[in-house]
Amino acid sequence: MAKSRLQQLAELGQSIWIDSLSREMLETSELERLIREDSVSGVTSNPTIFQKALAEGDWYDTELRELASLDGDTREIFFRLAENDVKQACDLLRPVHEKTAGLDGYVSIEVDPTLAYDSERTYEQTLRFHSDIDRPNLYVKIPATRPGLPAIEDAIAAGHSVNITLIFSLQRYTEVVDAYLRGLERRIAAAGDVSDINSVASFFVSRVDSEADKRLEQVGTPAALALRGKLAVANAKLAYRRFQEVFSSERWKYLASKGARAQRCLWASTSTKNPAYSDTLYVSELIGPDTVNTMPIETVRAFQDHGTVAETLAQGVDEAQLLLEQIEATGVSYAEVVDTLEAEGVQKFADSFAELLTGIETKLKKLEVGR
């Protein structure tokens, strides 16, 4: 039987994860099917998906009634519900984790996004999730804000696996990698084991084009308009080049000799926002070994149907660097694009989290009336 397109991606060294998790996916065996049929080897969760699941169905109603005794602490109620989902998903993906010797099979849970600028509380919540969920294939998502960097380093030094989210800029990516390496170095210096620590650096892709295209259209010249839809892929290609440089350096070779594992690049936000672009653009153009692509279900289906499989990630890197220079030449600042995206990304996550907590409160009131 011919291999599916996603199976072919896996053979090229790219892991396929999905960007959603809900109780419905678990109890209807949809996640199990994705693992079996679509080569899905990991899951990330987020409050937006959870809010939708909570609002549209009754999958959480029984548990919500049980948690109502927490006296309206909607934040804690959410954490309890999410932790239970993540535990189930971790257990479902445990065979993948074991089969890949700990490379894949991870489930990610996100730190409270309102803590994005609070290093200490981010670290504390990272410890809480690892303690409560207590699974070897858990990633805790820490945002790549400047205050997030010490939390990343401390978590790694303490022996915990983390998924670094909301990376947009090449500079911040370099800082994230350095925080990972420092954490490993600290753990080794303390005679700790690093062989079971894993991490991914999640580069957000499609949003880069959305913001850059808007600015290029405001410039409006033929040269500027010709550059639309290209920065996101170029940005990721340059990040991957940096990944290859760091994880072949002498500094890394020493850490690897102690059992450390490379922090893989993860391509997030890979659904295509602009209908004028291919719906598989951010998959087909970013295929390469030692990477992860986290896709929405719709993108999984689209790529299975008509995606193109070929190693593309290491191609055209010099052209990617030239593209950044060309965009700057139009008057569009790369630094302003990525700084705007980071600030907006944190705010969007926080807004979504606030909406989620309101949704839990509303649901609790409905369930109380229905008793």
Active site residues: 141
- To the nearest 10 degrees (0 to 180), the angle between helices 231-246 and 317-329 is 130
Pairing of strands 40-44, 199-204: unpaired
